Amino acid sequence: MKNILKTNGLLIGVATLVVFFDQLTKTLVRQHLTLGESWMPLKWLEPFARIVHWHNTGAAFGIFQNGNLVLKVLSMVIAIAILVYFQKVDRKDTLARVALSMQFGGALGNLADRFKLGHVTDFISIGTFPVFNVADANVTVGVALLVLAIILQERKATRSLEATSAAEVEKNGEQSKG
């Protein structure tokens, strides 16, 4: 048990926070706004951003509407894949581990809605962008951070390879002089 917590503490901690804030914000929206109702305390900001109570029976950007069963299964498969992949990520690669933890928490937050309500509660409306929620934001930011982590790892590996090659060239040059 101690080893599981040591290996997965970051995943458990970040995912728990994501699910907590996702479910809290969705509950507040459902309790205080009727479906379709919007709210923005800063009237000057309302044309661009507002809180709106919305149901989404599909996936991101409104695709696969009424695909709740398929999306439940897909979300569970993705969550399991994240769990498996997380175990293989080097503990020193904090950025990738945080990214996966955010994605895992986001997947669980929306999965909880799908099982509990049969739809996902969305409420953040910015400009003409599709309405989203805290879980969606964490999945999106998590994907971006994972891409960044991969790019940084590739650069690090390339620099290491270049340094090794340069050292070999220098060593071979010294051997041919001697």
pLDDT at 174: 64
- For residue 3, is it within any domain? no
- For residue 122, is it within any domain? yes
pTM for this predicted structure: 0.86
- Structure tokens, 74: 């897909």
- For residue 29, is it within any domain? yes
Asked if the model's pLDDT at residue 175 lies above 80, the reply is no
43-95 tens-digit pLDDT: 999 889 999 999 998 887 667 787 888 999 999 999 999 999 999 999 999 99
Domain count, the chain: 1
For 128, the domain range is: 9-177
- For residue 139, is it within any domain? yes
C-alpha distance from residue 51 to each of 20, 40, 118 (Å): 19, 6, 21
89-146 tens-digit pLDDT: 999 999 999 999 999 999 999 999 999 999 999 999 999 999 999 999 999 999 999 9
pLDDT at 176: 61
Other Cβ atoms closer than 10 A to 86: 20
Q: Which residues are catalytic?
A: 122, 136
pLDDT range class, residue 6, cuts 50, 70, 90:
confident
Query: Is residue 123 within 8 Å of residue 25, measured between CB atoms?
Result: yes
- For residue 146, is it within any domain? yes
- For residue 124, is it within any domain? yes
